[in-house]
């Protein structure tokens, strides 16, 4: 067992445990904190995969910005004073978990079988050792994917305007 396998098992286990904690804790704050743990473990997996840029963005954007937003809203709404934000009934929960296990089996089946006969498998044997750097990502982003890149800025602008319209108090025009 080499170092990469040990690290994969470590990060994979941490991210799975974190994910399970997200859906099993009663209190939303604990869920949010477990989600941060999951994001950090996934950043570790991205580093293992050689995607350093994605790992850095994962920590800065997800674990930093998005989770702060979540925690801010949870604390703003002060949900602990509310009655049980309960889960659904036991019977439905069992059904959901059975469906989930079926879904996972399907996903794993596809993940294992898709590699047997597609281009991914042939490429894997050929060009496995090539690592991609931030330079490559930047080059692709500003040449081949320039239009989608500009469209994302429109998405962010739309989100910004949407949020301002949503939270603006009605009847409060100009003061």
Partner 1 sequence: MSLEYYLILSALLFTIGVIGVLIRRNAIIIFMCIELMLNAANLAFVAISRSLGEATGQVFVFFVMTVAAAEVAIGLAIIVSVFKHRQTVNVDEVNSLKG
Q: Nearest distance from residue 88's CB to partner 1, in Å? A: 6
Of 84 and 173, nearer to partner 1 (C-beta) is 84
Three-state SS for 88-150 is CCHHHHHHHHHHHHHHHHHHHHHHHHHHHHCHHHHHHHHCCCCCCCHHHHHHHHHCCCHHHHH
Q: Nearest distance from residue 94's CB to partner 1, in Å? A: 10
Of 29 and 174, nearer to partner 1 (C-beta) is 29
Q: Nearest distance from residue 165's CB to partner 1, in Å? A: 9
| Beta carbons of 41 and 28 less than 8 angstroms apart | no
Of 111 and 172, nearer to partner 1 (C-beta) is 111
Q: Looking at the chain, how many residues does it have?
A: 175
Which of 72, 42, 38 shows the shortest CA–CA distance to 55? 42
Of 128 and 175, nearer to partner 1 (C-beta) is 128
Tokens of 24: 């099993």
**What's the farthest any 2 CA atoms get from each other in the chain?**
67
Q: Nearest distance from residue 174's CB to partner 1, in Å? A: 21
Of 15 and 117, nearer to partner 1 (C-beta) is 15
Kindly give the interhelix angle for 28-48 and 3-24, rounded to the nearest 10 degrees.
Answer: 160
Q: Nearest distance from residue 62's CB to partner 1, in Å? A: 7
């Amino acid at each position: 067992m080499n170092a990469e396998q040990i690290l994969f098992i470590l990060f994979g286990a941490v991210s799975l445990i974190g994910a399970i904690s997200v859906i099993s804790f009663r209190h939303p704050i604990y869920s949010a904190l477990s989600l941060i743990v999951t994001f950090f473990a996934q950043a570790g997996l991205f580093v293992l995969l050689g995607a350093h840029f994605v790992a850095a963005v994962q920590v800065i954007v997800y674990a930093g910005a998005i989770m702060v937003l979540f925690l801010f809203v949870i604390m703003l709404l002060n949900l602990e004073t509310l009655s049980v934000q309960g889960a659904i009934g036991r019977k439905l929960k069992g059904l959901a978990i059975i469906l989930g296990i079926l879904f996972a089996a399907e996903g794993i089946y596809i993940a294992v079988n898709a590699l047997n006969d597609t281009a991914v498998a042939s490429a894997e044997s050929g060009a496995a050792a090539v690592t991609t750097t931030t330079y490559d990502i930047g080059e692709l982003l500003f040449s081949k994917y320039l239009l989608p890149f500009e469209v994302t800025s429109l998405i962010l602008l739309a989100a910004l305007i949407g949020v301002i319209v949503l939270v603006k108090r009605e009847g409060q025009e100009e003061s």
